[in-house]
């Protein structure tokens, strides 16, 4: 058999096929609303988005690499509605001066645009596993180290003349059914995680899971009053009062795992309220002690590790509490995909605005690859899809064929060739 001559070529490079997925009309309306192209004569917002996505998909280390790489494309830039590659200084000025708010808003426009499509396939899977909540979210944060003091970092102060590294923290709320971030907030790495629970806008009846770093009893009480369900781990040093006998209890065997105890507990917290001063029209703020009623579930896993989960939902079973918390791992894999497959160790700007812009564009690139993987029903791992796109970014291959097919270009021969050297070729070395 001879060479497979089915080239699977199309008229546009893979990068253009990806860019076509972006609703440009919505981006243009957002640019007009934000006034992001005001005072710009050449390097417009669309040009900046395309330039950033090219650098992110190709994993370039600097803006100069991005611009030089695009310049080498020559006439292929007309596929991207660009006349020429921007100069590195022009692209750098755009990162510094164009407000990152445009890319933040456009990311959430894309979330709304693609979310109905992404959530359908995984929702059926979670229903089989026993997750009955339509609105099911996981919340966590991840720290990105910066070799700059633009944004304040965390950690110990350096000794001697050393310089403390900067850092940013990405706080993220993901839809567990779709594996897509629904809420993202970027802050300095020194900010405490629990301060961001107040920014979450959750509807009644929804379920959210998070780690014990977010133990914030006042927020738990507000969610309980508004009908929002949550599951999280209890801190090791948490003080609580057990009410009555255990709801469930058994002594687990040496090789047994699962739920072995459940309690009804009360947690104490303080809430600040305003009170009128007697005889005056003024008010003062007073802290009042209040009680939060929760369920505590004790769980032992296959490796013998023990966990304590708390929840304000009394309708689900104890096993479902542990299962819901297990689904929190989806946000950890989300952070892992973003950090391993995109260039977040090298930033194209040393300004806070430029760094945030690159993070938002990275999230846009991650969302586009998710859509590609789901829409084309690819069985390949996300890292493989990202690598294939990077390798064939400017090739005129069919995107669907690249991310779904894995067949060899040369079919297996029915008769093997003799690849050993001949007597004549060996005599040349004598």
**286-322 pLDDT, tens per residue?**
788 889 999 999 999 888 889 999 999 999 999 999 9
pLDDT at 161 over 80: no
Q: Are strands 241-242 and 258-276 parallel, antiparallel or unpaired?
A: antiparallel
Comparing 287 with 280, the larger pLDDT belongs to 287
Rounded to whole angstroms, the Cα distance separating 233 from 246 reads: 18
Do residues 152 and 190 make contact, with C-beta atoms less than 8 angstroms apart? Answer: yes
Q: What is the pLDDT of residue 285?
A: 76
pLDDT > 90 fraction of the chain, expressed in percent and rounded: 35
Q: What is the pLDDT of residue 128?
A: 46
Burial class (CB in 10 A: 0-12, 13-18, 19+), 124: exposed
DSSP at 31: H
Average pLDDT along the chain: 83
Identify the band that residue 418 occupies on the pLDDT scale cut at 50, 70 and 90.
Answer: low
pLDDT at 401 over 80: yes
Identify the band that residue 209 occupies on the pLDDT scale cut at 50, 70 and 90.
Answer: very high
Dihedral of the alpha carbons of 17, 18, 24, 28, in degrees to the nearest 10: -130
- Average pLDDT on 61-74 reads 84
- Average pLDDT on 129-146 reads 79
Closest CA to 152 of 166, 131, 170: 166
pLDDT at 412 over 90: no
CA–chain centroid gap for 216, Å, is: 23
Closest CA to 248 of 314, 163, 293: 314
Q: What is the pLDDT of residue 228?
A: 93
3-state secondary structure of 38: coil
Identify the band that residue 1 occupies on the pLDDT scale cut at 50, 70 and 90.
Answer: very low
Buried b (16+ CB within 10 A) or exposed e, 22-46: beeeebeebbeebebbeebeebbbb
CA distances from 418 to 4, 428, 429 (A): 21, 19, 20
pLDDT at 107 over 90: yes
Closest CA to 131 of 327, 265, 284: 327
Q: What is the pLDDT of residue 407?
A: 59
């Amino acid at each position: 058999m001879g060479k497979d001559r089915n080239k699977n070529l199309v008229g546009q490079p893979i990068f253009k096929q990806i860019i076509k997925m972006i609703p440009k009309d919505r981006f243009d309306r957002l640019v007009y609303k934000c006034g992001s192209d005001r005072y710009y004569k050449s390097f417009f917002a669309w040009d900046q988005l395309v330039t950033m996505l090219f650098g992110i998909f190709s994993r370039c280390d600097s803006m100069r690499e991005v611009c030089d790489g695009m310049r080498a494309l020559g006439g292929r830039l007309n596929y991207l509605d660009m006349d020429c590659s921007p100069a590195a200084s022009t692209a750098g000025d755009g990162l510094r001066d164009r407000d990152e708010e445009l890319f933040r808003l456009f990311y959430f426009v894309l979330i709304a645009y693609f979310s109905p499509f992404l959530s359908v396939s995984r929702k059926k899977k979670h229903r089989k596993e026993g997750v009955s909540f339509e609105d099911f979210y996981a919340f966590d944060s991840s720290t990105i180290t910066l070799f700059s003091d633009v944004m304040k970092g965390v950690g110990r102060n350096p000794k001697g003349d050393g310089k403390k590294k900067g850092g940013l923290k990405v706080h993220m709320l993901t839809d567990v059914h779709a594996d897509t971030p629904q809420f993202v907030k970027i802050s300095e790495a020194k900010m405490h995680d629990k301060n961001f629970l107040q920014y979450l806008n959750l509807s009644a009846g929804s379920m959210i899971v998070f780690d014990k770093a977010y133990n914030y009893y006042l927020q738990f009480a507000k969610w309980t009053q508004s009908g929002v369900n949550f599951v999280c781990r209890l801190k090791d040093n948490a003080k609580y009062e057990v009410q009555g006998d255990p709801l469930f209890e058994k002594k687990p065997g040496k090789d047994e795992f699962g739920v072995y105890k459940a309690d009804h507990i009360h947690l104490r917290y303080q809430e600040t309220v305003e009170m009128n001063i007697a005889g005056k029209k003024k008010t003062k703020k007073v802290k009042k002690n209040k009680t939060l009623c929760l369920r505590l579930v004790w769980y032992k896993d296959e490796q013998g590790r023990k966990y304590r989960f708390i929840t304000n939902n009394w309708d689900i079973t104890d096993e479902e509490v542990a299962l819901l918390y297990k689904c929190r791992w989806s946000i950890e894999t989300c952070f892992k995909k973003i950090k391993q497959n995109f260039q977040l160790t090298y930033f194209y700007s040393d300004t806070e605005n430029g760094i945030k812009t690159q993070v938002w564009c990275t999230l846009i690139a991650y969302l586009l690859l998710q859509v590609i993987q789901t829409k084309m029903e690819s069985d390949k791992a996300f890292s493989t899809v990202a690598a294939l796109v990077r390798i064939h970014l400017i090739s005129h291959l069919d995107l669907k064929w690249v991310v779904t097919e894995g067949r060899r270009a040369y079919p297996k021969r029915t008769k093997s060739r003799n690849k050993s050297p001949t007597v004549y070729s060996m005599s040349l070395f004598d």
